Amino acid sequence: MNLRVPRVKGLGLVAWLAGILFFLPIAWMVLTSFHSEESAATNPPSFAASLTLDGYRDFFGTAGGASPWPALVNSTVASLASTLFVLVLALPAAYALSIRPVRKWTDVLFFFLSTKMLPVVAGLLPIYLFAKNAGMLDNIWLLVILYTSMNLPIAVWMMQSFLAEVPIAVIEAARIDGARLPTLLARVVAPIAMPGIAATALICFIFSWNELLFARVLSGVVAQTAPVFLTGFITSQGLFLAKVCAASLVISLPVLAAGFAAQDKLVQGLSLGAVK
């Protein structure tokens, strides 16, 4: 046993090194975002250059490009609204699948999962043609509908595993007291399963916020989301390195915050509730 203590210490050091190595690009990005454009674009890199908020000022101002505010607002609307719709649709579905199982419920469950495995590109063209004819191109609510369909399968899967843990006796008792389904869900089931529902919501929010392909094809100027706004930096030849870093960090901030908050539940959600 004496031999094991120093070994564990050594491995702790290796873990620290790995953690720093993986985090280094992000740390460098943070540092660059606080540099002036001149000191950001030097080789060898300047570690001692004075710090400035110019990168952030350029990003939020309109210097050298459009304002990011409409894109940030669009992303917020699309992510929050689609997350809300997902919860409204997924909670009753998960209830039916976990608490009062319907016959062949696994078929239904696997149907939801299989839609998640359908590549986005497989339906993109008809959706584009439909939106074009219906005059819904560049409309944020089209993205809301698509993001809802993108996240609904994951949400149903996650939630049915969370709802399965709600004691059936509590539900029976509420039913005997005359609670109908909406009351039952809102007053009895949701409060008990709240941590799971919150985790589901966070993951749906993250996926909607990150989405690029739908947004890129179906939105133009008006309904542009934050990731589409970021693609405006793809060809910038480093002239605005500090601005690129500031923009990337600001746009990633909600996801970083949500992700760190839900670290443990994140695994369970991303593996569709299969790993606890």
- Return the residues of window 83-112 that contact other proteins according to CB under 8 A: 89-90, 92-93, 95-108, 110-112
**At closest approach, how far in Å is the CB of 212 from other proteins?**
5
Dihedral Cα 182, 185, 190, 196, nearest 10 deg: -120
One-letter amino acid of 240: F
Length of the chain: 276
Q: Which lies closer to other proteins via its Cβ, residue 63 or residue 168?
A: 168
Alpha helices in 34-104 (DSSP H): 37-40, 54-60, 69-98
**At closest approach, how far in Å is the CB of 150 from other proteins?**
9
Q: Which lies closer to other proteins via its Cβ, residue 41 or residue 198?
A: 41
Q: Which lies closer to other proteins via its Cβ, residue 50 or residue 263?
A: 263
Please, are residues 146 and 127 in contact by the beta-carbon 8 Å criterion? yes
In whole angstroms, how far apart are CA 240 and each of 67, 199, 233, 236, 244?
Answer: 15, 36, 9, 7, 6
**At closest approach, how far in Å is the CB of 249 from other proteins?**
7
Give Cβ neighbours of residue 91 (< 8 Å, ≥ 6 apart). Answer: 159, 185, 189, 190, 197
**At closest approach, how far in Å is the CB of 136 from other proteins?**
13
What is the distance between the alpha carbons of residues 266 and 269, in angstroms, rounded to a whole number?
5
Number of neighbours of residue 210 by Cβ within 10 angstroms: 16
Q: Which of 163, 222, 158, 234 is nearest to 192 (CA)?
A: 163
Contacts (CB under 8 A) with other proteins, residues 151-210: 152-153, 156, 164, 168, 181, 206, 209-210
**At closest approach, how far in Å is the CB of 240 from other proteins?**
9
What is the distance between the alpha carbons of residues 40 and 83, in angstroms, rounded to a whole number?
38
Q: Annotate each residue in 19-58 with x if it binds other proteins (CB under 8 A) or - if it does not, as one string.
A: xx-xxxxx-xx--x-------xxxxxx-------------
Please, are residues 202 and 194 in contact by the beta-carbon 8 Å criterion? no
Q: Annotate each residue in 114-143 with x if it binds other proteins (CB under 8 A) or - if it does not, as one string.
A: xxxxxxxxxxxxxxxxx-------------
Contacts (CB under 8 A) with other proteins, residues 209-268: 209-210, 212-213, 216-217, 226-227, 230-231, 233-234, 236, 238, 241, 244-245, 247-249, 251-252, 255-256, 259-260, 263, 266-268
What is the distance between the alpha carbons of residues 209 and 150, in angstroms, rounded to a whole number?
12
Q: Which lies closer to other proteins via its Cβ, residue 6 or residue 135?
A: 6
**At closest approach, how far in Å is the CB of 61 from other proteins?**
20
Q: Which lies closer to other proteins via its Cβ, residue 34 or residue 112?
A: 112
Q: Which lies closer to other proteins via its Cβ, residue 198 or residue 250?
A: 250
**At closest approach, how far in Å is the CB of 192 from other proteins?**
16
